[in-house]
Structure 1
């Protein structure tokens, strides 16, 4: 299994490289964004470890360029709590997973193996659920031909729901994937943002695709309620 690690902290990169080598991985290392992007475009990898804050080209732009060129290699983003971008935005950037520094090496290995097991299925550039579409490249959202303006958090929530459309997702799943897993605030923040999102993607268009399933979670449907009419309640 071949891994690319893009990390500008040389000591950390070498430590992780040696550790992964002992676990049976072949590891290539790049120390800046330009070198990392070049390596990722020229070589097949099973997974990429990508630091967010890099010289010459940051991880945000590296990942955007990879996805723009339809390189779907699983990416585990390495973020810092005091970094320029909120680590919880990693999924918005097209990452498959993230770890906050400092991280446990055992957790890192487990995350890498999980990414490789899932593989890298081809992803559509534009996500579509019914008449709702989301373009991760330019972060635009539309209902039909009508553009919808979302905040960064609303966008992240919608992207997660669209990737899990026609499935019920729990509040805890949303917190773990859209907010920081270590988030210590009240979990009703999910209900608040579901309400914000519903008032932007459904209400103005007279549709009810984002619903609340009592005692279970939330459902973004391709069609109205999609077979859950007996358990779904819509909150305004």
Structure 2
């Protein structure tokens, strides 16, 4: 059974969210403080951590950083009442795979959960190399010009969508459906922020003309094959 660790100190949020996760068939462990959440994340065998930013004892950012230092395989969905763009960037920098602002729609959050828990683990998936980027799906490993880079789950899935369609324009709606499971997120900055971080990690921050990932305004993105 898929195991979810819910780190949330507000019982008014934790209780209904735990019930919703249970209805989806997930086993749920609830922790109400940062230190307890970190201990459970490192010692348990959870598949997903839903992490409140404002936990007592240790804030969610520090929990996320420490989790990432020891468990790169654990998907992290961060919850926060602060929706400023700076907080969003800081959360991603700490290693969160996705970011949901409070108050949230339960249906949207559950869609994010389902998307995060999807894994492309088939060992028969072929290795793909385009424009100096090598994707090894069986190992969920990415190399750029021969050097391995670390990508969060969403960044990896975003790159995979683009590399699977290298040379083609991939619409924003297609990316949102395949990576986040919800094209209705088109009005949010979620995709753009993850794209910014992906570009930074693959060394794609030069001039627009030289970028591996081209932005096609009003449509989507294209991974160039040259």
Q: TM-score, normalised by structure 1?
A: 0.58
SS in 2 for 1:118: coil
Segments of structure 2 that go 5 or more residues without pairing to the other structure are: 122-137, 180-184
Cα distance change on mapping 1:183 and 1:15 into 2, 3 Å: closer
Segments of structure 1 that go 5 or more residues without pairing to the other structure are: 138-157, 227-236
Higher helix share: 2
**1:112 matched to which residue of 2?**
113
SS in 2 for 1:86: helix
Shift of 1:60: 1.4
- Higher-Rg member (1/2): 1
Backbone CA RMSD of aligned residues: 4.4
Shift of 1:16: 1.4
SS in 2 for 1:24: coil
Cα distance change on mapping 1:211 and 1:108 into 2, 3 Å: closer
Matched ranges for 1:88-167 at <5 A: 89-118=90-119, 128-130=143-145, 166=163, 167=166
2:12 matched to 1:11? Answer: yes
Shift of 1:38: 0.6
Cα distance change on mapping 1:164 and 1:83 into 2, 3 Å: same
**2:42 matched to which residue of 1?**
41
**1:69 matched to which residue of 2?**
70
Q: TM-score, normalised by structure 2?
A: 0.60
2:24 matched to 1:23? Answer: yes
Cα distance change on mapping 1:22 and 1:214 into 2, 3 Å: closer
Cα distance change on mapping 1:213 and 1:183 into 2, 3 Å: closer
